[in-house]
Amino acid sequence: MVARGDLQATPAAVQIRGFALGGALLTALSPRGVLLTGAGLYLLTAAAARFGLAARPPRPAGGASIAETWRTNARLWSSRPRRPVYLALWVSNGLVVGCESLYVPYAPKDAGPLFAAGAVGMPAGDVAVGRFLPRARQARLGVPLCLPLAAPFLLFALHPGLRVLLAAVAVAAVGYSTGLIFQDRLMALTPDELGGHAFGLHGSGMLAMQGVGAALAGAVAERTSPATAITALAVASLAVTLLPAPRLGTPVALE
């Protein structure tokens, strides 16, 4: 868990530096120039990945095919204990990302600080859970940590001041650390030979649900308002967290 906590905290730390660098570049360049600079840095990163990473041994003969991937996905999803864990990892997270996607229409001038506050809270939660929370207490805190992930976004309906919103967003981002706990539970429920595939399904499902959450947030905001959409998605995330909560606390058994 410590390694996964560091892995999740590192991108957030880089995001904080990225926000600072982007703000500094805006003082010297136009927004178009900043975007082009970012695109150039992405190309440099791709080149470094292509030519700078050491070669790895190829897969053994008879590697996984698309059909085999689907069969393994179906096997992973067919497990009743694993399904609520996947839903907790995907849906609650995706709906909160939908809330975050509305920072710009909600507060055009303050969206940058709001994103930065989330980038500060996320690594703080990952480090606290991954390094300092006793292992015996982690399993009991999975669902409780999901609640502050969504609940602070209910404040957006009241249109409080920026300081209150920054504190709310930072607290909410700490709740992302619940992913470490549910990932641990997922691994405990998965045979060793399927561990990598289980994480792959988790990652692809999480990214897909984040896209769905952002699209849903935009659709609701167009018909109501950004504040209403953020509140609605926060309520939905809380409901998705609480409904399977009893099954997330059941004893672990491999299937």
Dump the DSSP string for 68-91: HHHHHHHHHHH-TTHHHHHHHHHH
What is the number of alpha carbons within 13 Å of residue 136 lying toward its C-beta?
0
Burial class (CB in 10 A: 0-12, 13-18, 19+), 42: exposed
Q: What is the 8-class DSSP label of residue 160?
A: -
Report CA-CA distances (Å) from 32 to 38, 116, 145. 10, 21, 39
Burial class (CB in 10 A: 0-12, 13-18, 19+), 155: buried
Residue 102 confidence (pLDDT): 95
Which of 86, 79, 80 lies closest to 240 in space, CA to CA? 86
Residue 251 confidence (pLDDT): 42
- The Cα–Cα gap between 223 and 219 comes to 7
Residue 248 confidence (pLDDT): 58
Q: In sequence order, what are the residues at sequence separation of 6 or more whose Cβ sits closer than 8 angstroms to the Cβ of residue 54?
A: none
Asked whether residue 33 is assigned to any structural domain, the reply reads no
pTM for the structure as a whole: 0.75
Asked whether residue 190 is assigned to any structural domain, the reply reads yes
Residue 245 confidence (pLDDT): 56
Asked whether residue 89 is assigned to any structural domain, the reply reads yes
State how many domains the chain has.
Answer: 1
Asked whether residue 61 is assigned to any structural domain, the reply reads no
Asked whether residue 255 is assigned to any structural domain, the reply reads no
Residue 152 confidence (pLDDT): 94
What confidence tens digit (pLDDT) does each residue in 73-104 have? 888 888 888 888 888 888 888 999 999 999 99
Asked whether residue 176 is assigned to any structural domain, the reply reads yes
The residue type found at 37 is T
- The Cα–Cα gap between 64 and 233 comes to 37
Residue 27 confidence (pLDDT): 78
Asked whether residue 191 is assigned to any structural domain, the reply reads yes
Quote the domain boundaries for residue 6: 2-19+81-248
Asked whether residue 207 is assigned to any structural domain, the reply reads yes
- What CATH number corresponds to the domain at position 166? 1.20.1250.20
Mean pLDDT by 10 residues, the chain (255 residues): 54 66 79 87 88 71 71 87 86 90 92 86 80 68 76 94 94 86 85 86 90 94 95 92 61 45
